[in-house]
């Protein structure tokens, strides 16, 4: 039994300030409480706190199975991935190689549901925007990505029904002049790389990061070529006095999204490669080797006055679709289920183009529904020189290069 000595004043309700009971003469009163009752309350409180801790553990604390799976495991994976990436960068620095992603890191990137996200973005971009909200939404987009509205044929933002219509807006003809040089820029954008194709397995998408020409354009397509000939020899129509050249141009989200014919040429076949939809941003292109061979793309292969010529439109993340006006059968960004990470760069459809199709220089060819990349691979005489350098901005119709009579009059040529 526990005995407590408590002042009488603590047991009296303070209804009034002067209230004092007369029947209590002593200063202290004694309250007897069984000790067993206090012990029971102590054990009950202790058990309640233990149950609360056990309940928190069962709910997914750090020491529970749920906490180990949902908290410790992701943390451990992130630490291991960060350590592996740090060691990989040190190894690249030691060997003098660019700091690119490893094969498993590329596979993890390809396993993301980027096609589903791109299809959702394409659906959203095609929804009609209320007219009252169009100036605000399109204005924010223009300010964020530096869109020049003065060049648009229609500068009134209320005119565009959806984001997709705003992306693919047409511009005034006087805003772009088609140069007289033999090859001009097919689009507005930034040159990632350009130069001579010296090795069919080492074309540079950006400085130091390469991709394979055969994986990019597909297998040999000439039936009258011997099997012993190299891939470059198979593409070239003139074996002497000519070289293969390539140029990679990146279209940013704020650029003019339509693309034109870079020269006068005739497309013979179209190959649609069903690849992934990874981002083609220059930062990603610096990390993922063979990015253009992994992504979905439409390659138009034909000829011009100097031999072989190809024009390839590369798809990317959030590109709702790639439209080519001379090819109504082309359907990009198609739904293929929840299969991700397949990297089917060798899976393609081939279509023979109509014989009466001929593209003139500067002719409108197609459009992207978001920023992407265009790759030109063509044959030209050895005296051909590029008039630009990597990371230079270009506009539609601006000269990319031309054939010079002597090397003294040549322009700038990028180094491989």
pLDDT tens string 114-139 = 888 888 888 888 899 999 999 999 99
225 within domain boundaries: yes
User: Active-site residue among 246, 260, 272, 306?
Assistant: 260
CA 205 to chain centroid, in Å, comes to: 15
Over 50: is that where the pLDDT of 414 sits? Answer: no
Residue 102: strand pairing partners: none
The DSSP secondary-structure symbol of 133 reads T
What element of type H or E holds 313? strand 307-314
Over 70: is that where the pLDDT of 109 sits? Answer: yes
114 within domain boundaries: no
Q: What is the rounded radius of gyration, in angstroms, for the C-alpha atoms of the chain?
A: 35
Examine the domain organization and report whether 248 and 391 are in the same domain. Answer: yes
User: Active-site residue among 118, 188, 321, 327?
Assistant: 188
Residue 378: closest CA among 311, 298, 313? 311
Is 306 among the catalytic positions?
no
Residue 4: strand pairing partners: 31
List Cβ neighbours of 207 (8 Å cut-off, separation of 6 or more). 193, 390
Give residue-wise pLDDT tens across range 212-260: 898 899 887 665 555 667 888 888 888 788 999 999 999 988 899 999 9
3-state class (DSSP) for residue 242: strand
Residues of the chain with pLDDT > 70, as a percent, come to 73
Q: Read off φ and ψ for residue 340, nearest 5 degrees.
A: -130, 160
Please give the pLDDT value at position 376.
95
Q: Is the dihedral of CA 102, 103, 109, 115 positive or negative?
A: positive
- Burial (CB < 10 A; 0-12, 13-18, 19+), residue 63, is exposed
| Rounded Cα distance, 387 and 410, in Å | 8
40 within domain boundaries: yes
- Pick the residue with more confidence: 356 or 24? 356
Examine the domain organization and report whether 389 and 245 are in the same domain. Answer: yes
Please give the pLDDT value at position 223.
55
Q: How far is CA 146 from CA 141, 233, 371, in A?
A: 8, 43, 13
Is 188 among the catalytic positions?
yes
The DSSP secondary structure of 84-129, one letter per residue, reads HHHHHHHHHHHHT------HHHHHHHHTS-HHHHHHHHHHHHTSPP
Please give the pLDDT value at position 47.
59
> Residue 40 corresponds to which tokens in the numbers above?
């029971």
68 within domain boundaries: no
Please give the pLDDT value at position 266.
95
- Per-residue burial over 125-140, b if 16 or more Cβ lie within 10 Å, else e, is beeebeeeebeeebee
Examine the domain organization and report whether 185 and 307 are in the same domain. Answer: yes
The DSSP secondary structure of 170-234, one letter per residue, reads -B-GGG----SSSEE-SSSEEEEEEEE---TT-EEEETTEEE-HHHHH-S---TTS-TTS-HHHH
∠ CA 401-376-224, rounded to 5°: 110
| Domain residue limits at 38 | 2-14+27-58
Please give the pLDDT value at position 318.
78
Say if CB 235 and CB 289 are below 8 A apart: no
Please give the pLDDT value at position 46.
56
- Pick the residue with more confidence: 212 or 261? 261
Examine the domain organization and report whether 52 and 169 are in the same domain. Answer: no
3-state class (DSSP) for residue 407: helix
Over 90: is that where the pLDDT of 361 sits? Answer: yes
| Rounded Cα distance, 136 and 157, in Å | 9
147 within domain boundaries: no
User: Active-site residue among 261, 372, 399, 414?
Assistant: 372
153 within domain boundaries: no
* Order of strands, sheet of 373-381, starting from the edge strand that comes earlier in the sequence: 348-352, 265-273, 297-304, 307-314, 373-381, 242-250, 189-196, 393-394
31 within domain boundaries: yes
| Rounded Cα distance, 53 and 144, in Å | 50
pLDDT band at 406 (very low <50, low <70, confident <90, very high): low
Question: Number of folded domains in the chain?
Answer: 2
| Rounded Cα distance, 280 and 166, in Å | 21
- Per-residue burial over 276-315, b if 16 or more Cβ lie within 10 Å, else e, is bbbbbbbebbbbbbbbbbbbbbbbbbbbbebbbbbbbbbb
Please state, as a whole number, how many other Cβ atoms lie within 10 Å of the Cβ of residue 268. 16
158 within domain boundaries: no
């Amino acid at each position: 039994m526990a005995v407590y000595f408590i002042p009488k004043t603590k047991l009296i309700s303070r209804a009034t300030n002067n209230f004092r009971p007369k029947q209590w003469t002593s200063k202290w009163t004694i309250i007897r409480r069984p000790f067993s009752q206090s012990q029971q309350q102590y054990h009950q409180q202790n058990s309640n706190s233990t149950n609360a801790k056990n309940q928190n553990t069962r709910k997914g604390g750090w020491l529970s199975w749920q906490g180990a799976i949902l908290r410790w495991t992701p943390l451990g994976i992130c630490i291991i991935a960060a350590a592996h990436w740090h060691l990989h960068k040190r190894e690249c620095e030691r060997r003098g190689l660019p700091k690119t992603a490893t094969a498993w890191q590329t596979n993890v990137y390809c396993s993301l549901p980027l096609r589903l996200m791109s299809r959702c973005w394409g659906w959203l971009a095609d929804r009609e925007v209320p007219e009252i909200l169009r100036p605000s939404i399109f204005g924010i987009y223009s300010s964020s990505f530096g869109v020049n509205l003065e060049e648009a044929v229609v500068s009134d933002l209320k005119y565009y029904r959806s984001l997709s219509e705003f992306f693919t807006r047409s511009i005034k003809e006087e805003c772009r002049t088609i140069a007289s040089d033999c090859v001009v820029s097919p689009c507005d954008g930034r040159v990632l790389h350009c130069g001579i194709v010296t090795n069919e397995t080492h074309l540079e998408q950006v400085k130091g990061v390469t991709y394979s020409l055969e994986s990019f354009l597909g297998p040999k397509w000439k039936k009258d070529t011997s099997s012993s000939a190299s891939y470059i020899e198979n593409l070239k129509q003139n074996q002497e006095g000519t070289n293969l050249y390539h140029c990679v141009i990146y279209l940013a989200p704020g650029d003019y999204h339509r693309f034109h014919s870079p020269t006068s040429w005739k497309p013979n076949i179209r190959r649609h490669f069903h690849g992934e939809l990874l981002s083609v941003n220059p930062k990603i292109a610096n990390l993922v080797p063979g990015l253009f061979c992994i992504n979905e793309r439409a390659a138009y292969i034909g000829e011009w006055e100097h031999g072989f010529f190809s024009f390839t439109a590369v798809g990317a993340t959030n590109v709702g679709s790639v439209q080519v006006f001379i090819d109504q059968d082309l359907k990009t960004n198609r739904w293929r289920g929840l299969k991700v990470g397949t990297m089917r760069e060798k899976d393609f459809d081939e279509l023979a183009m109509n014989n009466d199709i001929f593209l003139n220089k500067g002719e409108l060819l197609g459009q992207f529904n978001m920023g992407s990349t265009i790759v030109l691979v063509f044959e030209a005489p050895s005296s051909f020189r590029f008039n630009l350098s990597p990371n230079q901005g270009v506009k539609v119709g601006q000269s990319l290069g031309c054939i010079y009579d002597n090397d003294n009059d040549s322009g700038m040529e990028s180094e491989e």
